[in-house]
Structure 1
């Protein structure tokens, strides 16, 4: 055996590895650095970013290309240039790219070195966050809705019958049912439904849960009035649930809320809730004062309440859709089901629970509407505090979907009531016409004239022929005598 037997194996391995080492030296090993290190850009806006590529393996004629992991969210482009000998000698390439935000979300811009038909990745991507800009139309929408809602609550104050509200508070069966639905059923239902619809998306589950723990919305009073429910009960329940939300919302947010999204820094918006309470109670107080001191104006406000309420609902729905058209791109079947599930299940539970407790239809309708309609504004506010951008805007698609789906059952019931009333009125009108056309009888009834009418007090002035007819009891005379 050759004494250097193992050495020839080592030599063979070295001879085989040397070409591989030469090839590896030719492969670019590049790293990119960006200034700034990341970018937050508004939708439909762009920024210029400087970058530097350093490393080994550059060759004259190589090119750099840009690509975005999700081209739907952002786009990056630049005027590509070939590497020169100067770039190769310095092992450095500097360039500038243009990054355009297209839609909400997070993505990365990456570079590749291209040599002929081969592409080589460049280390370090560039993170891009696309957010929604603050617009004037958003401020106009919020301000106008706040103004109109204040006016509608003044109308409610004018229409409120305070003795009835006192009776509701003395026998608080309806408010207790509403409280159970609002602060027990709705949070637990939204918690379970969130895990069922979004098993792998905790941010969306948080959006559902925040919508479920929010107090009842002011639209519940409007719909209760339009559909013929107990308005006084609805107003009392809204006031009670809003005040109770100071305790129940923190309880749910710091218990199940932590389970849904442990890393979220949840901040309970006490000031927002307090503002909502004041915004509810002050207009109601103004309306009650008008009811007492200016009864004629209060009566006029009550007369226009139904038309004004309907107009306000249409305004909110149409304006909200127009100002947030971008969010419909996020709608999927899961978002639609979530938006339907929260209010519609609340309606069903509230009405069923009220009827089981033997509440009249008007009270059950008010309880059902109060349970199903959520204050999605507070839910959106919570999400903006709990999450950073763009997740805050992305997860608000859940309460927005809920707000869009909420009035659909109420609108269907309203249309049904109108169609039913139309048929009933037509039937009554037809019946009245038939009664007017029907003949009274074929032969006239004989007139009954008393003897006092015939003779008067003394019996004077009676025609002799009439006396003869009466005396003969002639049936053809057409006159009968009342005894």
Structure 2
């Protein structure tokens, strides 16, 4: 009658928890009634169907004419919150002699993320979008500039130092200053140790950065992540957050990410080699396409993971975005200190602040037990959604300024046209008056003076 197994239930669903008794055994013991009292320890995580954390069921066997071999009691529970809790249930049996037997049991329930169709669509669309973006970037690459960057890798070295020197320490500092719990602290630290992501290439294109440097930095950071991530995780990460945890680094996913980037970029470079006239068209559409994809990730991603916003408190919501935002600023400052031009300062700042959050998701999912692994990904979700917010604001300001300046330009153009028109009319009028006076003078010269007298 007591269960030793652990139940796993997706949140936002209703699950039937069945307790089964052997009818024959009860009849042999002359049991007349069964009273069951079930209590949920944390009602924030689970609730019974009657929206309470406690339910009582009574079965009178003296009037029960069913001849089934078992007696089943179904408890319908609703999973509401991502966590773990216990359901305690007390079974009281009363026989014909009024003798009472008590049995206390409990079962552990883990609540997991919902298995929704929209989630599957969103996750399966990401690899195809990343491939499409990488092919576009490959078409826009300039081999001559890439060779120069490889031969003089100062900018790439600055980006590497910012990526794997600054970002992990920024994440560590934020978690300690604002006193994150170890679970969420490790979540932010994992994000800070990840290589750059493809979003940085899109933002570099949108804000007129150096796409060649951006792509090369993303490639180098992904390649060196095989060494740098273990160094950070097994030293500072293990010491500061999770002493006894065996951290699992998804090397297979890193290899897949690296292969996807290299193959997609190569495809783009091959396409532009055989069809060089295609490059201007891609250059013309890459900005609007990148903006649309950014909004797709933000809007659809928010819709898919909306349930996770319940796990974000005000402190995390205000401080977690500091990781990418401070990364942008410090990355740009370091590039400025090393006397890089404005285009490369922008590029290095963007590459520093944008992380491949998908790698952090995998590290957290495979390194932590359920459901703590899913809870810790809330931090990565905040970073993925909030990291690009300053750029959305900049895009909005640029759009408004462009519209306002365009309106002013039209007004100025109209004023200039009116001035030109008035000037032309005045000149024509002056010419007419001069011509009229000349004609009058000419006519007067033809008239004899005696006739006038």
For the pair 1:108 / 2:86, whether they are aligned, the reply is yes
- Map residues 382-421 of structure 1 onto 2, 5 A cutoff: 382-421=363-402
The superposition leaves residues 222-264 of structure 1 with CA deviations (integer Å, 9 ceiling, x where unpaired) of: 0111112222221121111111111101111111121111222
* Aligned match of 1:159: 140
Task: Please tell me whether the aligned partners of residues 45 and 82 of structure 2 are also in contact (alpha carbons under 8 angstroms).
Answer: yes
The one-character-per-residue Cα deviations of 1:186-207 (angstroms, maximum 9, x if unpaired) are 11111221233344x2111111
Q: 2:191 aligns with which of 211, 220, 225?
A: 211
Asked which structure has the greater CA Rg, the reply is 1
Write the deviation string for residues 83-132 of structure 1: whole angstroms up to 9, x where unpaired: 999xxxxxxxx974525241221011124689xxxxxx975532211112
Using the TM superposition, name which of 289-298 and 279-288 deviates more: 289-298
For the 8 Å contact 1:157–1:288, the answer to whether it is kept is yes
Map 1:37-436; keep pairs closer than 5 Å.
37-43=5-11, 44-50=13-19, 63-76=35-48, 80-81=57-58, 96-98=73-75, 100-102=77-79, 103-111=81-89, 123-199=104-180, 201-259=181-239, 260-436=241-417
Cα separation, 2, equivalents of 1:433 and 1:172: 51
Per the TM alignment, residue 208 of structure 1 is displaced from its structure 2 partner at its CA by: 0.8
Change (3 A) 1:413 1:368: same
TM-aligned CA deviation for residue 178 of structure 1: 1.4
CA distance in 2, matches of 1:419, 1:167: 38
Distance 1:411 1:244 in 2: 30
CA contact (8 A) 1:107 1:127 kept: yes
User: Mind listing any 5+ residue stretches in structure 1 that lack a counterpart?
Assistant: 1-32, 53-58, 86-93, 115-120, 445-483
- Contact between 2:45 and 2:84, CA under 8 Å: does it hold in 1? yes
Deviation per CA, 1:331-382, whole angstroms, max 9, x where unpaired? 2113313431211111111122222222222211111111111111110011
Aligned length: 397
User: Offset of 1:428 from its aligned partner?
Assistant: 4.0
1:78/1:97 contact within 8 Å kept:
no
Deviations 1:442-473 (A, max 9, x none): 669xxxxxxxxxxxxxxxxxxxxxxxxxxxxx
* Structure 2: distance between partners of 1:129 and 1:400: 21
Map Cα deviations across residues 126-174 of structure 1 (whole Å, 9 max, x no partner). 2211112444433321222211221121111111112122222333232
Question: Is the 1:35–1:49 contact (alpha carbons within 8 Å) kept by the matching residues of 2?
Answer: no
**Root mean square deviation, CA, Å:** 3.1
SS in 2 for 1:67: strand
